[in-house]
């Protein structure tokens, strides 16, 4: 059943896109900065990662089983068309709180990174060919997610700085943490019936995956690259 869900379809494509980015990393055709590289697979990965969480919360919390098991929730008193049209960040706060009595804290992780991931997704989807970089680029560079300036000269435009293999890994791991937290909010007696197993489709990606890919390709993972 899990393989037929949309959340699974979206999140598995994020991992596939990460593997494709690693293929680019070892090809020598793109700039590599240690275990991070430029990749044109990042934009689709951001879109798919966000979609995976929106699909998951709909599958777990807005389906017929949730309405049946937790029929006294104030969630069902709200206009359901309005609930469906809520922005994903609002859904992540409102729906678990009304349905399970617990929710994400706006100032904490993983909500903070999920909010940032949605900004990145939106900026890719609505890119207007403007050069001015969003303010979050520098913090993402400091975390090794966005690409730094190339030390051999020149610089990337900001969307290319976000077009990174580490950006895909960060997106995957962010939604993994969100999916895990969402399931943890479900009361124990309802967890199995509300398809909590769907969160098992979300798998954390270790940085060691990039190291092993380089080693298998005969490339020293400690070599800074900069090709």
148: Cβ contacts below 8 Å, ≥ 6 apart: 33, 141, 161
Q: pLDDT above 90 covers what percent of the chain?
A: 78
Banded pLDDT at 129 (limits 50, 70, 90): low
Q: What is the mean pLDDT of residues 223-227?
A: 76
Q: How far apart are CA 202 and CA 220, in angstroms?
A: 30
Residue 150 has pLDDT above 80, yes or no: no
Q: Minimum mean pLDDT among 19-28, 41-50, 75-84, 193-202: which range? A: 193-202
Segment 160-202, tens digit of pLDDT: 999 999 999 999 999 999 999 999 999 999 988 888 889 999 9
The pLDDT score that the predictor gives to residue 111 is 97
DSSP letter, residue 194: T
Residue 18 has pLDDT above 70, yes or no: yes
Mean pLDDT of the chain: 92
Residue 109 has pLDDT above 50, yes or no: yes
The pLDDT score that the predictor gives to residue 13 is 97
Long-range contacts, stretch 77-80, CB < 8 angstroms, 24+ apart: none
Nearest to 118 by CA among 75, 155, 84, 87: 87
Which one is predicted more confidently, 225 or 115? Answer: 115
Burial of 68 (0-12, 13-18, 19+ CB in 10 A): exposed
Nearest to 193 by CA among 61, 5, 52, 83: 61
The pLDDT score that the predictor gives to residue 1 is 39
Q: What is the mean pLDDT of residues 212-218?
A: 96
Which one is predicted more confidently, 129 or 9? Answer: 9
The pLDDT score that the predictor gives to residue 216 is 96
């Amino acid at each position: 059943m899990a393989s037929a869900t949309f959340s699974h379809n979206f999140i598995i494509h994020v991992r596939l896109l990460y593997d494709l980015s690693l293929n680019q990393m070892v090809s020598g055709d793109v700039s590599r900065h240690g275990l991070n590289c430029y990749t044109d697979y990042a934009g689709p990965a951001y879109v798919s990662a966000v979609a995976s969480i929106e699909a998951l919360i709909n599958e777990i919390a807005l389906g017929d089983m949730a309405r049946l098991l937790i029929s006294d929730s104030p969630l069902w008193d709200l206009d359901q068309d309005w609930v469906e049209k809520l922005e994903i960040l609002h859904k992540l706060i409102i729906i678990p709180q009304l349905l399970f009595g617990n929710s994400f804290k706006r100032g904490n992780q993983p909500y903070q990174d999920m909010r940032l991931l949605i900004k990145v997704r939106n900026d890719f989807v609505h890119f207007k060919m403007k050069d001015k970089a969003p303010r979050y680029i520098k913090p993402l560079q400091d975390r090794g997610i966005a690409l730094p300036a190339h030390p051999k000269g020149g610089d990337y435009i900001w969307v290319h700085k976000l077009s990174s293999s580490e950006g895909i890994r960060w997106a995957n791991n962010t939604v993994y943490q969100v999916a895990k937290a969402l399931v943890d909010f479900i009361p124990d007696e309802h967890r199995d019936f509300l398809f909590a197993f769907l969160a098992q489709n979300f798998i954390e990606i270790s940085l060691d995956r990039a190291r092993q890919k380089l080693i298998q390709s005969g490339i020293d993972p400690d070599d800074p690259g900069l090709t």
